[in-house]
Structure 1
Amino acid sequence: MTGPDGESGVTGVADDTTTADAAFAALSGGTTLVWEGDFHNGRQLLKAVERRLERGNRRTGGKKGRRPRSAAELFLARREQRARRAEILGRIVVDLGVRDGDRGPEWDLPLRRAPEVAEACAHAWGPPEPASGGRRVPLTELQGVLGAWQWHRRGVPVPALGERDGRTERVYPDYGVFSPTRSEYVDLVDDVASRYLRPGASVLEIGTGTGVLAAVLARRGAGQVTATDVNPRAVDCARSNLDRLGVGDRCTVTGADLWPVPATAPEGTTTYDVVVFNPPWLPGIPTSGLELGIYDDGSDALRRFLEGLGDRLAEGGEGWLVLSDLAEHLGLRSRDQLEQWISEGGLRVLGRSSTVPRHPKARPDPGGDADALQVARSREVTSLWRLARR
């Protein structure tokens, strides 16, 4: 049986008789606990351990007499807390088995009141090998797999794509692919495309994910869209969504770290009328595949985009950079730095359109007792910068 990466060498067993205090002590000491009890009781144990972690965070973060921390300090401290939380909760694991199904071997979770996991696990990892003996996974990861499967089945409504048969069009994210649940940036691209995208224009969309922006641009009249992503899962996911939305014949999806290899682009295309990039918006080291859509170590992807954009623009072409300014409010990157990188790339700003994020963390604290991090989030603005060669 395979196990999760980095699993501790000390392993114990937990079941319905295990108390939350005993589990918390063992997990904090580095022990991995294999859950063998009722599935729903296992979920309750996760929540109880998490509450104990939160109490510990409040005790260490709320010492009297300490000066209020900056937004950057709070952000980094809470990221460390989330990493610690993930590490400890990830030590509660379950053993998946393999059973004979109608179509061959399939995943099974042999716990009382366990949900059916075969389809969700196959979606995330593929079908099991008959001789594998199963798989040991963190219970938190299994919950993520089950949640991702539900998102994949239901899809994410995207109003900018219009309606079909009286129902808002949707994209269907695959496991491990960043989901466009924050739709304000999609609406922003759609609005700018409605005003500035020339019918029949050639478009390159970098970091396509589910393919949602490629679909919006195709629906707005782009003649050919080339979409890239460094994540192989995203490449497959985008192709599927674009075909389902009826624009696959005008969209080419290829694996690439930013720029497509000319041989993989339609007819060897090297320049485009419009290049669109919605980069990870925060400087930082990603700790998972999904965090690749959020954190950009040293703003590396952003800087490489601005350095290489001019060479990829056709005569009169534009680069559309979709970027949140949260990093600026957190003190992780300044507006002056961004404008300097634009200038160093031989680019000029044609215009900027902005929108206010609609997610709950962007709302000011109604009680007026917000910390510096909450204030920074409430001031966040997402902008589309229209860039051209100087």
Structure 2
Amino acid sequence: MSEPARIHWVEDGQARSARWRSESGASPPKRVQVADDTLTADAAFRLASEGTAILWRGDFQNARQLLQALARRIDKPKKIKKAKARADVAAGSPLDAFNQHRQAQSQRARTLAMLVLEFDGAHHISLRRAPDVTQACSEAYGAGDAAQGNYVSALRELLGLIGAHEWRKKGVEIAALGGARIHPHYGVFAPVRGEYLALVAETALPPAVLASSLAFDIGTGTGVLAAILARRGVQQVIATDQDPRALVCARENLERLALARHVTLQEANLFPEGRAPLIVCNPPWVPARPSSPVEHAVYDPESRMLRGFLQGLAAHLTPGGEGWLILSDLAEHLGLRSRSELLDWIAAAGLQVLSRVDVKPQHPKAADASDALHAARAAEVTSLWRLAAVSKRASVAMN
């Protein structure tokens, strides 16, 4: 096992170091300046823009205000730059707009990550007015241990952990579960868009499912689709995920909903052993490279999960069974994947489309004209594709 990365700095004339912790996988900054409440926002912005980390020793709440000030400086475009950016987007393709948007997001994240804090091994922060973040950090990093020594992490990441902790406590109300709540864990995609859940809750179950009452849920995440299937009367759902965090999250949600006896959780890349009359999959919708581990639920590089699901589906369906692919066409509107590519992958996998049920998303960004990807989001449609294996007779006829 490799040694954990460390961050080094000089403080009070002494060379110091600590473990470096970054959920985004970022390397520890090479330049570090210790700072407190006397540091101005303009000076902090210059340091952060140059790649110098600011190790904060002042008041915790002042650090939060400084982070907000840095964000305002990043997000406040000059009129000339703003006009030029709009002209570039208008002249370019949706793919150009997406790439510019991702590049801007990445640069923004790198700059804001330069404001860092020191924690002890038990996840405590020794700053004035610092909150108790032990539980939030433990949920993401694991239980603290003072013997492990101090570590340094970005304030922005800590605020993300705190936000995830609050989501986990509060939960997300799911209309398709009669208003019951799903509690997402840190790093597990939260089911905040109800339209795709409604598709799974309302589409008629295949007759073969009614006979055997078995289904597979591929990439279960929070377990929400497995829960919906179980609530619809499917007696046994085998739900898989390759992320241990997701499996822990799904188990807790299913136990809270009193559905654990109907769902078997397995750590697997895509399919479990055997066949089922219904196999459901909601893969990440955007075929792009994630910039951090927590983005894997949104970005699917080269559509690997989508293509893997399609390629293995026929071999895991029982006769008369259906695969339900829940997929947004946002990637098509961004120029990241075409409809013809998707249809070619379906055909090459020995599958046929029985039908498709579409719904328009209702999320706020679809109506936000100031969003860089507004045109694509406004045109987006989410679909449930009902897929079936092509029969041998039909396959011979096509050949």
1:244 matched to 2:256? The reply is: yes
Which residue of 1 is the match for residue 66 of structure 2?
A: 45
1:89 and 1:193 mapped to 2: Cα distance? Answer: 47
- DSSP-derived class of the 2:97 partner: helix
Partner of 1:78: 101
Q: What do you get for the CA RMSD once the two structures are aligned?
A: 1.9
Quote how far apart the aligned CAs of 1:278 are.
0.5
- AA matched with 1:190: A
* 8 Å contact kept, 1:200–1:221: no
Shift of 1:133: 2.5
Structure 2 distance, partners of 1:388, 1:61, is 49
Matched, 1:381 2:381: yes
Distance change (3 Å), C-alpha of 1:242 and 1:234:
same
Secondary structure in 1 matching 2:76: helix
- Give yes or no for the alignment of 1:276 onto 2:280: yes
User: How many pairs are equivalent?
Assistant: 366
> Is 2:294 aligned against 1:294?
no
2:191 — aligned with what?
180
1:133 partner letter? G
Question: Could you tell me how far apart the structure 1 residues matched to 2:79 and 2:256 are?
Answer: 47
Task: State whether structure 2 residue 149 is matched by structure 1 residue 133.
Answer: yes
Q: Secondary structure at the match of 1:352?
A: strand
Check whether the contact 2:206–2:278 (CA below 8 A) recurs between aligned residues.
no
2:38 aligns to what?
A: 17
Alpha-carbon distance in 1 for matches of 2:217, 2:125: 40
Query: In 2 relative to 1, CA 57–387 (structure 1 residues): closer, same or farther, beyond 3 Å?
Result: farther
Contact 2:60 2:128 in 1 (8 A): yes
Pick from 322, 325, 341 the counterpart of residue 326 of structure 2: 322
Contact kept? 2:101, 2:372, Cα under 8 Å? no
1:224 maps to 236
Q: Please give the alpha-carbon distance, in whole angstroms, between the structure 2 residues aligned to 1:48 and 1:364.
A: 24
Structure 2 CA distance for aligned equivalents of residues 347 and 146 of structure 1: 44
SS in 2 for 1:109: coil
1:2 corresponds to which residue? 19
Is the contact between residue 7 and residue 91 of structure 1 (CA under 8 Å) also seen in structure 2?
no
What is the alpha-carbon distance in structure 1 between the residues aligned to residue 211 and residue 160 of structure 2? 41
1:312 aligned onto 2:312: no
- Deviation per CA, 1:205-235, whole angstroms, max 9, x where unpaired? 1111100000000110112101111111001
Indicate if the aligned counterparts of 1:190 and 1:217 stay in contact, CA closer than 8 A. Answer: yes
Structure 2 residue ranges without an equivalent (≥5)? 1-17, 391-399
- Contact 2:34 / 2:56 at 8 angstroms: preserved in 1? yes
Could you list the per-position Cα deviations for residues 64-99 of structure 1 after superposition, in whole angstroms to 9, with x for gaps in the alignment?
86553322111110111111111111111111125x
Compared with structure 1, are the counterparts of its residues 112 and 194 closer, same or farther at alpha carbon in structure 2 (3 Å cutoff)?
farther
Amino acid at match of 1:31: T
The 8 Å contact of residues 120 and 146 in structure 2, kept in 1 or not, is answered as: no
CA 1:372–1:80: 2 relative to 1, 3 Å: closer
3-state SS of 1:275 partner: strand
AA aligned to 1:240 is: E
Distance, in Å, in 2 between the alignment partners of 1:255 and 1:310 is: 21
Q: 2: CA distance between counterparts of 1:45 and 1:93?
A: 12
Alpha-carbon distance in 2 for matches of 1:58, 1:174? 40
Does residue 118 (structure 1) correspond to residue 134 (structure 2)? The answer is yes
1:214 aligns with 2:226: yes
For the 8 Å contact 1:364–1:375, the answer to whether it is kept is: no
8 Å CA contact 1:199–1:223 kept in 2: the answer is no
Q: Distance in 2 between matches of 1:84 and 1:364?
A: 22
Task: Please tell me whether the aligned partners of residues 2 and 132 of structure 1 are also in contact (alpha carbons under 8 angstroms).
Answer: no
SS in 2 for 1:280: coil
- Which of 171, 184, 199 is residue 155 of structure 1 equivalent to? 171
Residue 323 of structure 1 contacts residue 383 of structure 1 at CA under 8 Å; is this kept in 2? Answer: yes
Counterpart of 1:170?
A: 181
Call closer, same or farther: CA 1:274–1:58 in 2, change over 3 Å: farther
SS at match of 2:143: coil
Return the offset for 1:132. 2.0
For 1:209 and 1:304, locate their aligned partners in 2 and report how far apart those are by CA, in whole Å.
Answer: 17
Taking the aligned partners of 1:319 and 1:20, their CA distance within structure 2 comes to: 54
For structure 1, the residue ranges without an aligned partner over 5 or more in a row are: 99-105, 163-167, 263-269
Aligned partner of residue 384 in structure 2, secondary structure: strand
Counterparts of 2:143 and 2:194, CA distance in 1 = 33
* Range with bigger deviation, 144-153 or 65-74: 65-74
